[in-house]
Structure 1
Protein backbone atom coordinates (compact mmCIF):
# COMPACT_ATOMS: atom_id res chain seq x y z
CA UNK A 1 0.00 0.00 0.00
CA UNK A 2 1.27 3.45 -0.87
CA UNK A 3 1.15 5.74 2.19
CA UNK A 4 -0.79 8.94 1.66
CA UNK A 5 1.47 11.96 1.39
CA UNK A 6 0.20 15.47 1.12
CA UNK A 7 1.27 17.14 -2.11
CA UNK A 8 2.22 20.10 0.11
CA UNK A 9 5.42 18.20 0.95
CA UNK A 10 6.48 18.88 -2.65
CA UNK A 11 5.08 22.40 -2.88
CA UNK A 12 8.37 23.90 -4.07
CA UNK A 13 8.65 21.33 -6.85
CA UNK A 14 5.03 21.93 -7.88
CA UNK A 15 5.71 25.66 -8.08
CA UNK A 16 8.82 25.12 -10.20
CA UNK A 17 6.81 23.02 -12.64
CA UNK A 18 3.52 24.93 -12.72
CA UNK A 19 4.79 28.49 -12.44
CA UNK A 20 8.19 28.29 -14.09
CA UNK A 21 7.68 25.35 -16.46
CA UNK A 22 10.84 23.71 -15.11
CA UNK A 23 10.99 20.32 -16.89
CA UNK A 24 13.34 18.85 -14.29
CA UNK A 25 10.70 19.56 -11.64
CA UNK A 26 8.08 17.71 -13.68
CA UNK A 27 10.44 14.74 -14.00
CA UNK A 28 11.02 14.80 -10.26
CA UNK A 29 7.27 14.66 -9.63
CA UNK A 30 6.87 11.75 -12.05
CA UNK A 31 9.64 9.79 -10.35
CA UNK A 32 8.24 10.59 -6.90
CA UNK A 33 4.77 9.27 -7.73
CA UNK A 34 5.79 6.21 -9.77
CA UNK A 35 4.98 3.91 -6.81
CA UNK A 36 1.38 5.11 -7.10
CA UNK A 37 1.29 3.69 -10.63
CA UNK A 38 2.53 0.32 -9.37
CA UNK A 39 -0.11 0.34 -6.63
CA UNK A 40 -3.03 1.15 -8.96
CA UNK A 41 -1.84 -1.29 -11.63
CA UNK A 42 -1.48 -4.03 -9.02
CA UNK A 43 -5.10 -3.66 -7.96
CA UNK A 44 -6.39 -3.41 -11.52
CA UNK A 45 -4.55 -6.59 -12.49
CA UNK A 46 -6.98 -8.67 -10.41
CA UNK A 47 -8.92 -10.96 -12.71
CA UNK A 48 -7.15 -9.89 -15.91
CA UNK A 49 -5.94 -12.63 -18.28
CA UNK A 50 -2.35 -13.73 -17.80
CA UNK A 51 -1.51 -12.80 -21.38
CA UNK A 52 -1.87 -9.10 -20.52
CA UNK A 53 1.60 -7.80 -19.76
CA UNK A 54 2.04 -5.92 -16.51
CA UNK A 55 4.62 -3.79 -18.30
CA UNK A 56 1.90 -2.67 -20.72
CA UNK A 57 -0.38 -1.82 -17.81
CA UNK A 58 2.41 0.18 -16.17
CA UNK A 59 3.04 2.05 -19.44
CA UNK A 60 -0.62 3.06 -19.62
CA UNK A 61 -0.49 4.02 -15.95
CA UNK A 62 2.58 6.22 -16.39
CA UNK A 63 0.81 8.08 -19.19
CA UNK A 64 -2.10 8.65 -16.80
CA UNK A 65 0.30 9.90 -14.13
CA UNK A 66 1.92 12.35 -16.55
CA UNK A 67 -1.53 13.58 -17.59
CA UNK A 68 -2.46 14.05 -13.92
CA UNK A 69 0.71 16.02 -13.19
CA UNK A 70 0.06 18.25 -16.20
CA UNK A 71 -3.55 18.98 -15.27
CA UNK A 72 -3.40 19.08 -11.46
CA UNK A 73 -3.98 22.45 -9.79
CA UNK A 74 -1.79 22.37 -6.69
CA UNK A 75 -3.25 25.64 -5.37
CA UNK A 76 -6.71 24.13 -4.73
CA UNK A 77 -5.47 22.24 -1.68
CA UNK A 78 -6.62 18.84 -2.96
CA UNK A 79 -4.91 15.49 -2.43
CA UNK A 80 -2.85 14.72 -5.52
CA UNK A 81 -2.75 10.98 -4.85
CA UNK A 82 -6.53 10.72 -5.04
CA UNK A 83 -6.73 12.75 -8.25
CA UNK A 84 -3.84 10.89 -9.85
CA UNK A 85 -5.26 7.48 -8.94
CA UNK A 86 -8.40 8.24 -10.98
CA UNK A 87 -6.31 9.39 -13.94
CA UNK A 88 -3.97 6.40 -13.77
CA UNK A 89 -6.86 3.95 -13.50
CA UNK A 90 -8.71 5.57 -16.38
CA UNK A 91 -5.60 5.58 -18.57
CA UNK A 92 -4.96 1.88 -17.96
CA UNK A 93 -8.54 0.88 -18.74
CA UNK A 94 -8.67 3.12 -21.81
CA UNK A 95 -5.43 1.60 -23.04
CA UNK A 96 -6.76 -1.90 -22.58
CA UNK A 97 -9.98 -1.04 -24.35
CA UNK A 98 -8.14 0.44 -27.33
CA UNK A 99 -6.25 -2.84 -27.56
CA UNK A 100 -9.56 -4.72 -27.80
CA UNK A 101 -8.58 -6.84 -24.80
CA UNK A 102 -12.11 -8.05 -24.03
CA UNK A 103 -13.94 -9.93 -26.82
CA UNK A 104 -17.45 -8.77 -27.66
CA UNK A 105 -18.80 -12.19 -26.68
CA UNK A 106 -17.41 -11.75 -23.16
CA UNK A 107 -19.02 -8.31 -22.82
CA UNK A 108 -22.32 -9.79 -23.96
CA UNK A 109 -22.03 -12.49 -21.30
CA UNK A 110 -21.36 -9.84 -18.65
CA UNK A 111 -24.41 -7.86 -19.75
CA UNK A 112 -26.64 -10.96 -19.58
CA UNK A 113 -25.45 -11.90 -16.09
CA UNK A 114 -25.79 -8.33 -14.82
CA UNK A 115 -29.34 -8.10 -16.19
CA UNK A 116 -30.18 -11.46 -14.63
CA UNK A 117 -29.08 -10.25 -11.20
CA UNK A 118 -30.99 -7.01 -11.68
CA UNK A 119 -34.28 -8.63 -12.70
CA UNK A 120 -34.26 -11.54 -10.26
CA UNK A 121 -33.23 -9.52 -7.23
CA UNK A 122 -35.85 -6.92 -8.07
CA UNK A 123 -38.40 -9.73 -8.30
CA UNK A 124 -37.46 -11.56 -5.09
CA UNK A 125 -36.10 -8.54 -3.13
CA UNK A 126 -33.19 -10.64 -1.85
CA UNK A 127 -29.86 -12.04 -2.93
CA UNK A 128 -30.50 -14.74 -5.52
CA UNK A 129 -28.61 -18.02 -5.60
CA UNK A 130 -26.32 -19.34 -8.30
CA UNK A 131 -28.94 -22.00 -9.04
CA UNK A 132 -31.62 -19.35 -9.66
CA UNK A 133 -29.33 -17.34 -11.92
CA UNK A 134 -28.33 -20.49 -13.80
CA UNK A 135 -31.98 -21.45 -14.28
CA UNK A 136 -32.81 -17.96 -15.55
CA UNK A 137 -29.91 -18.05 -18.01
CA UNK A 138 -30.79 -21.64 -18.95
CA UNK A 139 -27.30 -22.95 -18.25
CA UNK A 140 -25.88 -25.38 -15.71
CA UNK A 141 -24.29 -24.07 -12.52
CA UNK A 142 -20.87 -25.17 -13.76
CA UNK A 143 -21.44 -23.23 -16.99
CA UNK A 144 -22.54 -20.20 -14.97
CA UNK A 145 -19.39 -20.37 -12.82
CA UNK A 146 -17.30 -20.50 -15.99
CA UNK A 147 -19.19 -17.47 -17.34
CA UNK A 148 -18.37 -15.53 -14.17
CA UNK A 149 -14.73 -16.52 -14.50
CA UNK A 150 -14.68 -15.42 -18.15
CA UNK A 151 -16.21 -12.02 -17.43
CA UNK A 152 -14.01 -11.22 -14.43
CA UNK A 153 -11.99 -8.97 -16.73
CA UNK A 154 -15.04 -6.73 -17.27
CA UNK A 155 -15.62 -5.87 -13.62
CA UNK A 156 -13.27 -2.91 -13.79
CA UNK A 157 -14.47 0.28 -15.41
CA UNK A 158 -13.28 3.70 -16.49
CA UNK A 159 -14.80 6.95 -15.24
CA UNK A 160 -14.89 8.01 -18.88
CA UNK A 161 -17.22 5.11 -19.76
CA UNK A 162 -20.92 5.85 -20.45
CA UNK A 163 -23.20 4.88 -17.58
CA UNK A 164 -25.23 2.99 -20.16
CA UNK A 165 -24.15 2.02 -23.65
CA UNK A 166 -26.87 4.05 -25.34
CA UNK A 167 -26.21 7.20 -23.28
CA UNK A 168 -23.55 9.88 -23.53
CA UNK A 169 -23.43 10.68 -19.79
CA UNK A 170 -20.26 9.28 -18.23
CA UNK A 171 -19.23 8.44 -14.69
CA UNK A 172 -16.83 11.35 -14.85
CA UNK A 173 -19.78 13.72 -15.30
CA UNK A 174 -21.08 12.60 -11.90
CA UNK A 175 -17.93 13.74 -10.12
CA UNK A 176 -18.40 17.21 -8.71
CA UNK A 177 -16.53 19.58 -6.43
CA UNK A 178 -17.57 18.47 -2.95
CA UNK A 179 -16.81 21.95 -1.60
CA UNK A 180 -19.64 23.37 -3.70
CA UNK A 181 -23.14 23.49 -2.20
CA UNK A 182 -25.30 21.37 -4.46
CA UNK A 183 -28.54 20.09 -2.86
CA UNK A 184 -29.33 17.81 -5.80
CA UNK A 185 -25.93 16.15 -5.52
CA UNK A 186 -26.39 15.65 -1.77
CA UNK A 187 -29.78 14.01 -2.32
CA UNK A 188 -28.38 11.73 -5.02
CA UNK A 189 -25.40 10.92 -2.82
CA UNK A 190 -27.74 9.96 0.02
CA UNK A 191 -29.78 7.62 -2.19
CA UNK A 192 -26.62 6.18 -3.72
CA UNK A 193 -25.17 5.33 -0.32
CA UNK A 194 -28.49 3.93 0.86
CA UNK A 195 -28.81 1.80 -2.29
CA UNK A 196 -25.24 0.52 -2.01
CA UNK A 197 -25.71 -0.31 1.68
CA UNK A 198 -28.84 -2.33 0.92
CA UNK A 199 -27.16 -4.03 -2.05
CA UNK A 200 -24.11 -4.97 0.04
CA UNK A 201 -26.41 -6.42 2.70
CA UNK A 202 -27.88 -8.73 0.06
CA UNK A 203 -24.49 -10.09 -0.95
CA UNK A 204 -23.51 -13.51 0.31
CA UNK A 205 -21.23 -13.61 3.34
CA UNK A 206 -18.20 -14.52 1.23
CA UNK A 207 -18.94 -11.79 -1.34
CA UNK A 208 -19.27 -9.19 1.43
CA UNK A 209 -15.97 -10.35 2.90
CA UNK A 210 -14.19 -10.03 -0.45
CA UNK A 211 -15.65 -6.55 -1.04
CA UNK A 212 -14.65 -5.46 2.46
CA UNK A 213 -11.11 -6.82 2.25
CA UNK A 214 -10.54 -5.48 -1.26
CA UNK A 215 -12.12 -2.01 -1.10
CA UNK A 216 -11.84 -1.15 2.60
CA UNK A 217 -8.81 -3.09 3.85
CA UNK A 218 -7.16 -2.78 0.39
CA UNK A 219 -5.74 -6.29 0.39
CA UNK A 220 -4.48 -7.85 -2.84
CA UNK A 221 -6.04 -10.86 -4.56
CA UNK A 222 -3.45 -13.26 -3.17
CA UNK A 223 -3.76 -11.79 0.33
CA UNK A 224 -7.54 -12.19 0.32
CA UNK A 225 -7.16 -15.77 -0.94
CA UNK A 226 -4.81 -16.50 1.95
CA UNK A 227 -7.11 -14.90 4.53
CA UNK A 228 -10.19 -16.76 3.29
CA UNK A 229 -8.31 -20.01 2.54
CA UNK A 230 -9.59 -20.04 -1.05
CA UNK A 231 -7.88 -20.04 -4.44
CA UNK A 232 -7.16 -16.71 -6.18
CA UNK A 233 -9.48 -17.71 -9.04
CA UNK A 234 -12.32 -18.31 -6.54
CA UNK A 235 -11.71 -14.88 -4.99
CA UNK A 236 -11.81 -13.31 -8.47
CA UNK A 237 -15.11 -15.08 -9.13
CA UNK A 238 -16.63 -13.87 -5.85
CA UNK A 239 -15.47 -10.32 -6.61
CA UNK A 240 -17.03 -10.43 -10.09
CA UNK A 241 -20.36 -11.73 -8.79
CA UNK A 242 -20.46 -9.04 -6.10
CA UNK A 243 -19.76 -6.27 -8.62
CA UNK A 244 -22.44 -7.57 -10.99
CA UNK A 245 -24.98 -7.63 -8.15
CA UNK A 246 -24.07 -4.08 -7.11
CA UNK A 247 -24.27 -2.82 -10.71
CA UNK A 248 -27.71 -4.35 -10.99
CA UNK A 249 -28.85 -2.57 -7.82
CA UNK A 250 -27.51 0.76 -9.05
CA UNK A 251 -29.23 0.21 -12.39
CA UNK A 252 -32.54 -0.35 -10.60
CA UNK A 253 -32.00 2.83 -8.58
CA UNK A 254 -31.52 4.88 -11.78
CA UNK A 255 -34.67 3.42 -13.33
CA UNK A 256 -36.68 4.25 -10.20
CA UNK A 257 -35.34 7.80 -10.12
CA UNK A 258 -36.42 8.39 -13.73
CA UNK A 259 -39.85 6.88 -13.02
CA UNK A 260 -40.33 9.24 -10.10
CA UNK A 261 -39.36 12.36 -12.06
Structure 2
Protein backbone atom coordinates (compact mmCIF):
# COMPACT_ATOMS: atom_id res chain seq x y z
CA UNK A 1 0.00 0.00 0.00
CA UNK A 2 1.31 3.40 -0.88
CA UNK A 3 2.22 5.69 1.97
CA UNK A 4 -0.37 8.45 1.77
CA UNK A 5 1.46 10.47 4.42
CA UNK A 6 4.26 11.00 1.89
CA UNK A 7 1.75 12.59 -0.50
CA UNK A 8 -0.42 14.57 1.91
CA UNK A 9 -0.14 16.16 5.31
CA UNK A 10 -1.97 14.40 8.13
CA UNK A 11 -4.37 17.34 8.36
CA UNK A 12 -5.25 16.93 4.69
CA UNK A 13 -5.81 13.21 5.15
CA UNK A 14 -8.16 13.76 8.07
CA UNK A 15 -10.26 16.12 5.99
CA UNK A 16 -10.33 13.60 3.14
CA UNK A 17 -11.26 10.77 5.47
CA UNK A 18 -14.06 12.72 7.09
CA UNK A 19 -15.61 13.29 3.65
CA UNK A 20 -14.85 9.97 1.95
CA UNK A 21 -14.32 7.33 4.66
CA UNK A 22 -11.70 5.88 2.33
CA UNK A 23 -10.47 2.52 3.77
CA UNK A 24 -6.94 3.16 2.50
CA UNK A 25 -6.76 6.37 4.55
CA UNK A 26 -8.10 4.53 7.59
CA UNK A 27 -5.44 1.85 7.16
CA UNK A 28 -2.79 4.57 6.96
CA UNK A 29 -3.92 6.01 10.30
CA UNK A 30 -4.05 2.57 11.90
CA UNK A 31 -0.46 1.88 10.84
CA UNK A 32 0.65 5.35 11.87
CA UNK A 33 -0.82 5.13 15.39
CA UNK A 34 -0.42 1.41 16.18
CA UNK A 35 2.63 2.18 18.41
CA UNK A 36 0.38 4.47 20.48
CA UNK A 37 -1.73 1.45 21.44
CA UNK A 38 1.32 -0.38 22.80
CA UNK A 39 2.37 2.77 24.64
CA UNK A 40 -1.01 3.15 26.37
CA UNK A 41 -1.18 -0.58 27.12
CA UNK A 42 2.26 -0.33 28.71
CA UNK A 43 1.11 2.49 30.97
CA UNK A 44 -2.02 0.56 31.97
CA UNK A 45 -0.09 -2.65 32.65
CA UNK A 46 1.84 -1.07 35.53
CA UNK A 47 0.49 -2.48 38.76
CA UNK A 48 -1.75 -5.03 37.06
CA UNK A 49 -1.70 -8.61 38.42
CA UNK A 50 0.19 -11.30 36.50
CA UNK A 51 -2.99 -12.80 35.07
CA UNK A 52 -3.49 -9.67 32.94
CA UNK A 53 -1.39 -10.15 29.82
CA UNK A 54 0.21 -7.17 28.06
CA UNK A 55 -0.74 -8.53 24.63
CA UNK A 56 -4.36 -8.76 25.75
CA UNK A 57 -4.29 -5.10 26.76
CA UNK A 58 -2.89 -4.22 23.33
CA UNK A 59 -5.70 -6.19 21.70
CA UNK A 60 -8.34 -4.33 23.73
CA UNK A 61 -6.67 -1.01 22.91
CA UNK A 62 -6.74 -1.63 19.15
CA UNK A 63 -10.53 -1.40 19.25
CA UNK A 64 -10.16 1.97 20.94
CA UNK A 65 -7.87 3.13 18.12
CA UNK A 66 -10.43 2.01 15.51
CA UNK A 67 -13.13 3.89 17.40
CA UNK A 68 -10.96 7.01 17.70
CA UNK A 69 -10.22 7.06 13.96
CA UNK A 70 -13.89 6.67 13.06
CA UNK A 71 -15.12 9.36 15.46
CA UNK A 72 -12.33 11.92 15.36
CA UNK A 73 -13.40 15.37 14.23
CA UNK A 74 -10.42 17.45 13.00
CA UNK A 75 -12.51 20.62 13.15
CA UNK A 76 -12.58 20.53 16.96
CA UNK A 77 -8.90 21.54 17.05
CA UNK A 78 -7.85 18.69 19.33
CA UNK A 79 -4.76 16.68 18.44
CA UNK A 80 -5.65 13.17 17.32
CA UNK A 81 -3.01 11.66 19.60
CA UNK A 82 -4.63 13.30 22.64
CA UNK A 83 -8.08 12.14 21.58
CA UNK A 84 -6.89 8.62 20.71
CA UNK A 85 -5.12 8.04 24.03
CA UNK A 86 -8.41 8.60 25.86
CA UNK A 87 -10.27 6.26 23.50
CA UNK A 88 -7.60 3.55 23.63
CA UNK A 89 -7.37 3.65 27.40
CA UNK A 90 -11.15 3.65 27.71
CA UNK A 91 -11.45 0.58 25.49
CA UNK A 92 -8.87 -1.27 27.60
CA UNK A 93 -10.64 -0.48 30.85
CA UNK A 94 -14.07 -1.26 29.42
CA UNK A 95 -12.84 -4.72 28.51
CA UNK A 96 -11.13 -5.24 31.87
CA UNK A 97 -14.42 -4.41 33.58
CA UNK A 98 -16.36 -6.78 31.34
CA UNK A 99 -14.09 -9.75 32.06
CA UNK A 100 -14.14 -8.99 35.80
CA UNK A 101 -10.40 -9.58 36.21
CA UNK A 102 -10.17 -8.35 39.82
CA UNK A 103 -10.19 -11.22 42.37
CA UNK A 104 -13.09 -10.99 44.84
CA UNK A 105 -10.71 -10.78 47.83
CA UNK A 106 -8.92 -7.79 46.30
CA UNK A 107 -12.20 -6.07 45.49
CA UNK A 108 -13.41 -6.54 49.06
CA UNK A 109 -10.17 -5.19 50.49
CA UNK A 110 -10.33 -2.19 48.13
CA UNK A 111 -13.89 -1.41 49.23
CA UNK A 112 -12.91 -1.76 52.89
CA UNK A 113 -9.99 0.64 52.47
CA UNK A 114 -12.09 3.17 50.54
CA UNK A 115 -14.78 3.13 53.23
CA UNK A 116 -12.20 3.50 55.98
CA UNK A 117 -10.48 6.45 54.29
CA UNK A 118 -13.81 8.12 53.49
CA UNK A 119 -15.17 7.97 57.06
CA UNK A 120 -11.85 8.65 58.79
CA UNK A 121 -10.95 11.74 56.74
CA UNK A 122 -14.51 13.06 56.99
CA UNK A 123 -14.31 12.88 60.79
CA UNK A 124 -10.75 14.27 60.96
CA UNK A 125 -11.34 17.02 58.43
CA UNK A 126 -7.89 16.37 56.95
CA UNK A 127 -5.83 13.69 55.23
CA UNK A 128 -5.32 10.66 57.47
CA UNK A 129 -1.84 9.26 58.10
CA UNK A 130 -0.83 5.68 57.34
CA UNK A 131 -0.86 4.91 61.07
CA UNK A 132 -4.37 6.32 61.51
CA UNK A 133 -5.77 4.37 58.57
CA UNK A 134 -4.02 1.16 59.67
CA UNK A 135 -5.29 1.59 63.24
CA UNK A 136 -8.85 2.11 62.01
CA UNK A 137 -8.58 -1.08 59.92
CA UNK A 138 -7.13 -3.00 62.87
CA UNK A 139 -3.85 -3.86 61.13
CA UNK A 140 -0.20 -2.81 61.40
CA UNK A 141 1.27 -0.05 59.25
CA UNK A 142 3.42 -2.66 57.52
CA UNK A 143 0.35 -4.77 56.66
CA UNK A 144 -1.47 -1.63 55.49
CA UNK A 145 1.37 -0.88 53.07
CA UNK A 146 1.20 -4.46 51.76
CA UNK A 147 -2.53 -3.95 51.13
CA UNK A 148 -1.76 -0.84 49.09
CA UNK A 149 0.56 -2.81 46.82
CA UNK A 150 -1.95 -5.65 46.48
CA UNK A 151 -4.76 -3.39 45.26
CA UNK A 152 -2.62 -1.07 43.10
CA UNK A 153 -4.14 -2.37 39.85
CA UNK A 154 -7.68 -1.61 40.94
CA UNK A 155 -6.73 1.95 41.84
CA UNK A 156 -5.64 2.61 38.26
CA UNK A 157 -8.92 1.18 37.02
CA UNK A 158 -10.92 3.43 39.34
CA UNK A 159 -9.26 6.51 37.86
CA UNK A 160 -11.29 5.93 34.73
CA UNK A 161 -14.68 5.99 36.44
CA UNK A 162 -16.91 8.40 34.55
CA UNK A 163 -18.24 11.28 36.61
CA UNK A 164 -20.52 12.75 34.00
CA UNK A 165 -22.01 11.36 30.82
CA UNK A 166 -24.19 13.46 28.57
CA UNK A 167 -23.81 13.41 24.82
CA UNK A 168 -21.62 10.73 23.26
CA UNK A 169 -17.93 11.39 24.00
CA UNK A 170 -18.91 13.92 26.69
CA UNK A 171 -17.62 12.64 30.00
CA UNK A 172 -15.19 13.48 32.76
CA UNK A 173 -12.99 11.00 34.60
CA UNK A 174 -10.47 11.59 37.35
CA UNK A 175 -7.59 10.73 35.05
CA UNK A 176 -8.72 13.29 32.44
CA UNK A 177 -8.51 16.00 35.10
CA UNK A 178 -5.02 14.96 36.13
CA UNK A 179 -3.77 14.88 32.55
CA UNK A 180 -5.15 18.32 31.68
CA UNK A 181 -5.55 20.14 34.99
CA UNK A 182 -6.14 23.58 33.47
CA UNK A 183 -7.65 22.89 30.06
CA UNK A 184 -11.43 23.19 30.04
CA UNK A 185 -13.25 23.01 26.74
CA UNK A 186 -15.18 26.30 26.32
CA UNK A 187 -18.01 24.40 24.66
CA UNK A 188 -18.46 22.14 27.66
CA UNK A 189 -21.76 22.34 29.53
CA UNK A 190 -21.88 23.92 32.99
CA UNK A 191 -22.34 20.62 34.84
CA UNK A 192 -19.24 19.14 33.28
CA UNK A 193 -17.21 22.24 34.15
CA UNK A 194 -18.39 22.01 37.74
CA UNK A 195 -17.47 18.36 38.11
CA UNK A 196 -14.07 18.92 36.54
CA UNK A 197 -13.52 21.82 38.95
CA UNK A 198 -14.25 19.72 42.04
CA UNK A 199 -12.03 16.90 40.79
CA UNK A 200 -9.15 19.35 40.29
CA UNK A 201 -9.77 20.83 43.75
CA UNK A 202 -9.74 17.35 45.27
CA UNK A 203 -6.41 16.65 43.57
CA UNK A 204 -4.99 19.94 44.87
CA UNK A 205 -5.99 19.02 48.43
CA UNK A 206 -3.99 15.78 48.47
CA UNK A 207 -0.79 15.49 50.54
CA UNK A 208 2.02 17.01 48.52
CA UNK A 209 3.93 13.82 47.78
CA UNK A 210 0.81 11.96 46.63
CA UNK A 211 -0.19 14.85 44.42
CA UNK A 212 3.30 14.87 42.87
CA UNK A 213 3.04 11.17 42.06
CA UNK A 214 -0.24 11.67 40.21
CA UNK A 215 0.96 14.67 38.25
CA UNK A 216 4.33 13.12 37.36
CA UNK A 217 2.74 9.84 36.29
CA UNK A 218 -0.32 11.05 34.39
CA UNK A 219 0.63 14.57 33.30
CA UNK A 220 4.42 14.47 32.98
CA UNK A 221 4.28 10.85 31.74
CA UNK A 222 7.07 9.48 33.96
CA UNK A 223 7.24 5.82 34.92
CA UNK A 224 6.94 4.74 38.57
CA UNK A 225 10.67 4.00 38.55
CA UNK A 226 11.47 7.50 37.24
CA UNK A 227 9.16 9.06 39.83
CA UNK A 228 10.97 7.11 42.52
CA UNK A 229 14.24 8.74 41.46
CA UNK A 230 12.65 12.20 41.52
CA UNK A 231 11.16 11.69 44.98
CA UNK A 232 14.13 9.60 46.20
CA UNK A 233 11.96 6.66 47.25
CA UNK A 234 11.58 3.08 46.00
CA UNK A 235 9.33 2.11 43.11
CA UNK A 236 7.09 0.13 45.47
CA UNK A 237 6.72 3.22 47.67
CA UNK A 238 5.63 5.22 44.62
CA UNK A 239 3.03 2.54 43.90
CA UNK A 240 1.77 2.84 47.49
CA UNK A 241 1.60 6.63 47.24
CA UNK A 242 -0.31 6.33 43.97
CA UNK A 243 -2.85 3.93 45.49
CA UNK A 244 -3.34 6.13 48.57
CA UNK A 245 -3.87 9.17 46.38
CA UNK A 246 -6.61 7.38 44.42
CA UNK A 247 -8.28 6.15 47.61
CA UNK A 248 -8.32 9.69 48.97
CA UNK A 249 -9.65 11.12 45.71
CA UNK A 250 -12.46 8.59 45.56
CA UNK A 251 -13.42 9.22 49.17
CA UNK A 252 -13.48 13.00 48.61
CA UNK A 253 -15.48 12.70 45.41
CA UNK A 254 -18.02 10.12 46.54
CA UNK A 255 -20.09 12.59 48.56
CA UNK A 256 -19.67 15.31 45.93
CA UNK A 257 -20.91 12.92 43.25
CA UNK A 258 -23.96 12.04 45.35
CA UNK A 259 -24.70 15.72 45.82
CA UNK A 260 -24.49 16.53 42.09
CA UNK A 261 -26.44 13.64 40.62
Report deviation, 1:159.
8.2
What does 1:185-204 align with in structure 2 at a 5 Å threshold? 185-198=192-205, 200=206, 203=207
Give the alignment of 1:1-261 within 5 angstroms. 9-157=9-157, 161=161, 174-175=171-172, 178-180=185-187, 182-198=189-205, 200=206, 203=207, 205-255=208-258
- CA-CA distance at 1:89 after TM superposition: 0.5
TM-score by length of 1: 0.80
Matched position secondary structure for 2:240: helix
Describe the superposition over 1:122-152 as per-residue Cα deviations: whole angstroms up to 9, x where unpaired: 1111221112111211222222222111110
Query: 8 Å contact 1:89–1:158 — kept in the other structure?
Result: no
Which residue of structure 2 aligns with residue 166 of structure 1?
A: none
Cα distance, 1:150–1:158 mapped onto 2, change above 3 Å: closer
Number of the residue aligned with 1:3: none
Over 3 Å counting, the alpha-carbon distance change for 1:53 and 1:120 in structure 2 is: same
- Shift in CA distance, 175/139, structure 1 to aligned 2, threshold 3 Å: closer
CA gap 1:149/1:39 in 2 versus in 1, 3 angstroms: same
- Aligned-partner Cα distance in 2 for 1:208–1:45: 21
SS in 1 for 2:156: coil
Aligned partners of 1:68 and 1:87 also within 8 Å: yes
Distance of aligned partners of 1:18 and 1:61 in 2 relative to their CA distance in 1, 3 Å threshold:
same
* Contact persistence 1:48–1:152 (CA under 8 A): yes
> Judging changes above 3 Å, is the alpha-carbon distance between structure 1 residues 241 and 31 closer, same or farther for their aligned structure 2 residues?
same
Check the 8 A contact 1:68/1:84 in 2, yes or no.
yes
Larger deviation: 24-33 or 229-238?
A: 229-238
The answer to whether the 8 A contact 2:162-2:171 is kept is no
Stretches of structure 1 lacking an aligned partner (at least 5 in a row): 1-7, 164-168
Query: 1:9, CA displacement in angstroms?
Result: 4.5
SS of the aligned residue for 2:157 comes to coil
Shift of residue 231 of structure 1? 3.0
CA distance in 2, matches of 1:39, 1:251: 31
User: How far apart in 1 are the matches of 2:77 and 2:209?
Assistant: 39
1:257 Cα deviation from its structure 2 partner: 5.2
Q: Is the 8 A contact 2:165 2:172 kept in 1?
A: no
